[in-house]
Chain A
Amino acid sequence: MTLGLAFDLLLACALLWSAWRTLSTPRLDRAIILFIAFGLLMTIAWIRLSAPDIALAEAAIGAGLTGALLLDAYGALRQRKRRRKAS
């Protein structure tokens, strides 16, 4: 019981920390990676709350698809910037 509580507290701290870092880090690529990490931690939180349905959806949509979309957008932004510099 206490082990579970300790894990939950650790998870809550990690969630808050990764959320804060996602918003405060100045580099976009790091923010995206942290966002994905936040999504995966959120998945564990949903499992701890015994809601496996939401955990599945969070892992697939929140962390997976949204993360990939953000990474793709970041890549496109960088490419555009490079092209502008070259011309």
Chain B
Amino acid sequence: MKALAKTFVVVWLALVFVAAAIGAMLELGPAALDLRAPVTDHLTDTGVSHPVTAVLLNYRGYDTLLEIAVLLLALLGILAAGGAAGSAAPKAAHPMLQASARLAAPLMILVAVYLLWAGAFLPGGAFQAGAVLAAAAVLLHLVGLTRGWDSPRLRLRLGLAGGFALFLAVAAALLTQGALLGFPPAWAGELIMLIEAGLTVSLGLILAGFFLFLSRDLR
């Protein structure tokens, strides 16, 4: 009886909270700052024609720079916390599954490159492309075609940190021209494509690393 009363009180409080939250949402006024018009007005200066990519890499490039730094830090945390490495050879999956993974992986790389390219004028971009790359690596690992990663060698380290380093280098170079990540309109498109290409490779490796470093000593 007591438990029932307690449940009743909890459910009732939760419902009151939900109602209050919905009420607060409905009473929200219009945004104090409407940025839609400025974003579309200056879109021609950004080097890309898709507004989301323009916001991510040109208007708010600083945020994206820190985002990739956070992801890299998370991976470094995993590497620092990782215990003894002892990766046995992965268990091979059914040959049929392996064959379809072999077929799918090149297509996934193609899709990643397309997403990267399309990011300039359509939905897409470095993060999605990197995720698809990482998914390809995870797929190959799950069917037993590639091993989990042990401690990273120089080449892998370069790949993991390269995107962030490239982004930082571009930001530092632009700092001498005036503002941090203030792209000159003349070659903003090329710079953004360069940064995005670096980000795609690094993000693919980092996201795959979350998977492949963690799974190394459990198999």
Contacts and interface: CB of A to CB of B under 8 A. Distances in A.
Contact of B123 (A56, A60, A61): A56
Contacts of A61: 127, 131, 207
Nearest to B51: A53
A65 B115 contact: no
Contacts, number: 49
A65 B128 contact: no
B125 A64 contact: no
Given A61-B207, A68-B138, A56 B128 contact: yes
B62 interface: no
Given A76-B215, A79-B218, A65 B131 contact: yes
Nearest to A62: B131
A26 B135 CA distance: 28
A53 B125 contact: yes
Contact of A64 (B124, B135, B218): B135
Contacts of A60: 128, 131-132, 135
Interface size class, chain A: 10 to 19
Given A53-B52, A76-B215, A65 B124 contact: no
B121 interface: no
B214 interface: yes
A29 interface: no
B211 A65 contact: yes
B43 to A, nearest CB: 16
Given A53-B124, A68-B142, A68-B211, A76 B135 contact: no
A73 B124 CA distance: 29
A57 interface: yes
Interface in B31-60: 52
- Which of A60, A61, A64, A68 has most B Cβ within 10 Å? A60
Contacts of B218: 72, 76, 79-80
A50 B210 CA distance: 30
A69 B212 CA distance: 9
A25 to B, nearest CB: 19
Nearest to B134: A65
Nearest to B131: A60
Interface string B101-133: 000000000000001000000011101100110
B140 to A, nearest CB: 12
Interface in B3-44: none
Given A52-B123, A68-B142, A80-B218, 6 more contacts: A53-B128, A56-B123, A56-B124, A72-B214, A72-B218, A73-B214
**Which A-B residue pairs are the 4 nearest by beta carbons?**
A60-B131, A76-B218, A52-B123, A56-B128
